[in-house]
C-alpha cells in the first residue's frame, strides 16, 4: 500500500476531471485504488468520472464499494442513486439515495406519484405541509421530464424553501436527507431552460439557493460542477 502514490494519482485524476477529460481521470483514480485500496475517496471519485462517461454500472459498483468502506458516505449514496436512476432502476434509485417511509394501508390513488406537471403543481399548492413527501414520490432523475420547459422561478424558489426546511429540521436520517436533496438539486439543473429560470430568480432566492447548497455540504470536483450549474461559486 502506498498512501503517497494514491494521493498523487488522485490529484492527477482531479485535474483531469476539472478539464473534462473523464477517461484520463478514471485511469488515475484506478491507479490510486491499486495503490491504496482502503481509501474510500478513490472509488468515489472514479464513480463521478464514470457517471460523466455514462458508465452507470461501473459507477454503481464503485459507490457500493465506497459504502462497504464507509456506510454513511453521503456522496456515495447520492451518486449511486444517480447511477441507478440512469439505468432506469428508479425504485433502486430511491432506495439508494434515501429510505422511503412505508405506505399506509389506506393509501388512495391521489398519493401516487404525479405523472404530469399539472398534477404536481396542483398538489404542490394544496399540500403545503406535505411538499417534501410529495417530492419523495418522484425519483430525482424524473424531474427534467416532469417539468420539461415549464419550470419557473417562483416554483423553484418554493422548492428551495422546502429543501431548507427539511435540511434544518434535524433527525436521525440527516445524511440520507442531504443526499436526497443533493440529488434533486442536481436533477433540477438538468431541466430544460434552467439557466433562463435562474435569470428570473430574486436576490433573496439566489441567497436561499446558496444556503441550501451549504446545508447539503457536498464538496469536491463533481460538486463544483453541480454548483456552477446553479450559477454559484465554489
| CATH number of the domain encompassing residue 4 | 1.25.40.10
Specify whether 50 is located in the same domain as 163: no
Decide which of 72, 97, 122 is a domain's last residue: 97
Cell representation of residue 117: 406537471
Q: Are the CB atoms for 42 and 143 separated by under 8 Å?
A: no
* Residue 102, in any domain of the structure: no
* Residue 52, in any domain of the structure: yes
* Residue 156, in any domain of the structure: yes
Q: Are the CB atoms for 157 and 208 separated by under 8 Å?
A: yes
Specify whether 12 is located in the same domain as 78: yes
Number of domains observed in the structure of the chain? 2
Question: Can you tell me the distance from the alpha carbon of 44 to that of 79, in angstroms, rounded to the nearest whole number?
Answer: 8
Specify whether 171 is located in the same domain as 231: yes
* Residue 104, in any domain of the structure: no
Decide which of 41, 68, 97 is a domain's last residue: 97
Specify whether 134 is located in the same domain as 227: yes
Instruction: Quote the pLDDT of residue 7.
Output: 92
* Residue 213, in any domain of the structure: yes
| Long-range pairs for 23-26: beta carbons < 8 A, 24 or more residues apart | 23/49, 23/53, 25/49, 26/50, 26/53
Q: Which residues of the chain have pLDDT under 50?
A: 90-93, 99-114
Cell representation of residue 18: 476539472
Instruction: Quote the pLDDT of residue 69.
Output: 85
Specify whether 92 is located in the same domain as 161: no
Specify whether 79 is located in the same domain as 142: no
Question: Can you tell me the distance from the alpha carbon of 153 to that of 6, in angstroms, rounded to the nearest whole number?
Answer: 44
Specify whether 161 is located in the same domain as 76: no
Specify whether 35 is located in the same domain as 132: no
* Residue 178, in any domain of the structure: yes
Specify whether 138 is located in the same domain as 48: no
Instruction: Quote the pLDDT of residue 106.
Output: 40
* Residue 147, in any domain of the structure: yes
List the domain range (segments joined by +) for residue 212. 110-234
Decide which of 97, 130, 155 is a domain's last residue: 97
Amino acid at each position: 500500500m502506498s498512501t503517497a502514490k494514491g494521493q498523487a494519482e488522485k490529484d492527477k485524476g482531479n485535474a483531469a476531471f476539472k478539464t473534462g477529460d473523464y477517461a484520463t481521470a478514471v485511469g488515475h483514480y484506478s491507479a490510486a485504488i491499486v495503490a491504496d485500496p482502503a481509501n474510500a475517496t478513490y472509488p468515489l471519485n472514479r464513480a463521478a468520472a464514470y457517471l460523466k462517461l455514462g458508465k452507470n454500472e461501473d459507477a454503481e459498483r464503485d459507490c457500493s464499494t465506497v459504502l462497504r468502506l464507509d456506510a454513511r458516505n453521503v456522496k456515495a449514496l447520492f451518486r449511486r442513486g444517480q447511477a441507478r436512476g440512469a439505468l432506469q432502476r428508479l425504485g433502486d434509485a430511491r432506495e439508494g439515495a434515501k429510505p422511503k417511509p412505508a405506505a399506509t394501508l389506506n393509501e388512495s390513488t391521489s398519493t401516487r406519484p404525479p405523472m404530469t406537471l399539472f398534477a404536481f403543481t396542483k398538489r404542490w399548492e394544496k399540500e403545503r405541509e406535505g411538499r417534501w413527501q410529495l417530492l419523495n414520490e418522484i425519483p430525482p432523475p424524473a424531474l427534467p421530464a416532469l417539468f420539461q420547459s415549464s419550470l419557473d422561478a417562483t416554483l423553484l424558489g418554493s422548492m428551495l424553501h422546502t429543501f431548507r426546511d427539511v435540511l434544518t429540521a434535524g433527525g436521525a436520517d440527516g445524511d440520507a436527507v442531504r443526499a436526497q436533496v443533493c440529488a434533486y438539486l442536481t436533477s433540477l439543473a438538468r431541466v430544460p431552460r434552467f439557466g433562463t429560470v435562474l435569470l428570473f430568480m430574486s436576490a433573496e432566492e439566489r441567497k436561499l439557493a446558496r444556503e441550501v447548497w451549504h446545508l447539503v455540504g457536498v464538496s469536491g470536483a463533481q460538486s463544483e460542477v453541480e454548483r456552477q450549474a446553479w450559477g454559484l461559486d465554489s
